[in-house]
Amino acid sequence: MRKLRQKRPRLKLSAEEYNLLRQRVLERDGWRCQNCGSSKYLHVHHQTRRSKLGDDALDNLITLCVTCHQKQHYFWSSTRNVLYNV
């Protein structure tokens, strides 16, 4: 069986470099959630997931509050009373 290869290498930064990039994203976004405008409990979210070859790059990151970040990753089905990971 052939092993599948990535089409292109993913840009992944060291922890120190990522922390600097995270600060740049927060500053660029005015320390506000880009979905609801909250300034509390901010996260930096990969718009294209790293598992889908999303880079640690300024143009792939956005500031979201914890609530909006969870909504990006999970979907609540009220008909089935279940939380799904999206």
Q: Specify the pTM.
A: 0.75
86 residues of the chain, pLDDT tens digit each = 566 555 666 667 899 999 999 999 999 999 999 999 999 999 999 999 888 888 999 999 999 999 999 888 776 555 655 555 65
Domain residue ranges in the chain: 15-75
Give the residue carrying structure tokens 């999303």: 54
- 35, amino acid identity: N
C-alpha distance across the termini of the chain, in Å: 30
pLDDT of res. 26: 98
Dihedrals φ, ψ of 63, to 5°?
-85, 125
